[in-house]
Amino acid sequence: MNPPQKTPTQDVGEFDHRATRRDFVFGELHRSDLQADPVLQLEQWLNAAKEAGNFDATAMCLSTATKEGRPSARYVLLKHLDARGLCFYTDSRSSKGQELAENPFAALTFYWPEMDRQVRVTGRIERLPDTDNEAYFNQRPIKSRIAAVASYQSQPIESRAALEERFKAVETEFPEQNVPRNPAWGGYRLMPDTPPRATAGRFNA
């Protein structure tokens, strides 16, 4: 007779983080300091985060959900910001692309620890036109374009060696940097339904 199988929660101990805390002393937020235009305000904070030494200031947590309401989150990079919304690029075959196809609502959250500040934006998602996709894809570094063609986001791969072989095959097929964009790769725009909500320290605005 085989011994009973342990459940994943057996013999792993407990980990208590309730005592982990710090003082929030930076990034005070006053309504009188805010720009009237939320786009200008967000751009101002992005630039301030960069100046504070955050090399990933444009990183934002993209939260999506399936049509059944099961959420998931991951980080993407902000590539364009204007009055219409916030834009990022990805493979539509990825899990986030599939979730946005069946439930086109999402949230984006920036976190800048140097400023003790986070900003959350919610709204509806739309796909960017192919003209925008082509323009941005063609200005990316050559290796980034090759990687976008060679890889399939959220899909299992046989091995790292297989992925590297695929990368080299694409690199050989298009030696003069004329790497074509896969139609599945493109941009999305989150169109805010309310002005961005900001938090400084433990206080919300």
How many folded domains does the chain comprise?
A: 1
Comparison of pLDDT for 71 and 178, the residue scoring more: 71
Is residue 158 assigned to a domain? no
DSSP labels for 67-123?
A: TT--EEEEEEE--EEETTEEEEEEETTSHHHHHHHH--EEEEEEEEGGGTEEEEEEE
pLDDT at 203 over 50: no
Q: Write the CATH number for 66.
A: 2.30.110.10
User: Does 129 fall in a domain?
Assistant: yes
Range 86-113 average pLDDT: 96
Average pLDDT on 33-59 reads 90
> Mean pLDDT, to the nearest integer, of 51-78?
96
- The whole-number average pLDDT for the span 44-49 is 94
Name the band, by pLDDT with cuts 50, 70 and 90, for residue 63. Answer: very high
What tens digit of pLDDT does each residue of 132-185 get?
999 999 999 888 888 887 776 655 666 677 767 776 777 777 776 788 898 999
- C-beta neighbour count of 59 within 10 angstroms: 16
Mean pLDDT (the chain) is: 84
**Residue 176, in any domain of the structure:** no
In a domain, 48, yes or no: yes
Q: Is 74 within the bounds of a domain?
A: yes
- Residue with the bigger pLDDT between 156 and 97: it is 97
Q: Could you tell me the pLDDT band of residue 94, with boundaries at 50, 70 and 90?
A: very high
Domain that holds residue 188: 31-138+183-204
